[in-house]
Amino acid sequence: MLARAAVGLGSLALTGCYGSADRREAIHTLRNALDMGVPLIDTADHYAAGAVERMIREAVSGEPGDGTLISTRGGLRFARDGALIGVDGSPGYLRRACEESLRRLGRGHIDVYYLAGVDPRVPLEESLGVLADLVEEGKIRSIGLSRVSAEQLRRAHAAFPVGALAVEYSLMERRAERELLPAARELGVQVVACRPLGRGLLTGRVASAEAFGSGDVRRGQDRFQADRLRRQAWRLRAAGEVATGMSAGLTRLALAWLLSRQDGVVPVPSTRHGLHLEMNVTSARLTVGPAESERLEACFPVGWDEKESADGRLGGGDQ
């Protein structure tokens, strides 16, 4: 994986699920990421039914330079209407999914290939076995895991070295700090922080779910409903004051905080706008010291939202 912590680029926003996405603008943003030396472009085979992988192919035009890695995910099955059927960790399905991603990406290998979830019908070691075979064949450089427990991470790593763990992790969502992140640190597994801006809440620009367009998936999520937003408004204001004291915006502070938490954390905020991409990348220049960390801890301590949350288990597949 990567030798240092840095801000990558997620690609969920390119699907249009956070508002309409123009294909030409999306490809332009991907090319800007390469020009800026963004170390990781992160996607999944099911994003827009494979269309995002094809966009990456067009933007990259072959093997990316300057050390930019490409990661994608496989192992989820969807119905024709786009509804999630479930996880399929069978060796045959994973091999086909990986090879189809390679064709869409137009590459000879995938730098990091994530198992998108654990199939309860298939032993985890069996799913890892086919990914290990793909490593031996040169089609995968590193194996990643998503939506796993600390125990599953340890089991997988014992079967074959795991290079990366994708997990929802942000200033607002810190449950991974209890077991998953210590396990990753112990095993030397790099952490890729998905949803590092709380799907937009940590930008300081989200006032209510009604502000989103009709096709925005966030409209129906509990974390964006008016009563919950009112209850947490003081936390965002207080965190914003910390950012102001550092002559920075809340977005940059939230990403810089992640970079300060653990060696090798790679946040992958998703955006379709070049200006937002540039702002995200420059977060690496912001230093969060002990005083700022203490104030942010008071705003969002571990477990602050567990009594309120209705969003379910820790995510890892989406940015």
Query: Annotated active-site positions, please?
Result: 47
Give the C-alpha separation, 276 to 272, whole Å. 8
Question: How many Å apart are CA 272 and CA 26, to the nearest integer?
Answer: 6
* Bridge partner list, 191: 165
Whole-number Cα distances in Å, 237 to 12, 230, 270, 290, 298 = 27, 11, 23, 20, 12
198 conformational bin, left if phi > 0, alpha if psi -120 to 50, beta if neither: left
| Strand duo 40-42 + 9-10: pairing | parallel
Burial 48-85 (b: 16+ CB within 10 A, else e): bebebbbbbbebbeeebeeebbbbbbbbbeeeeeeeee
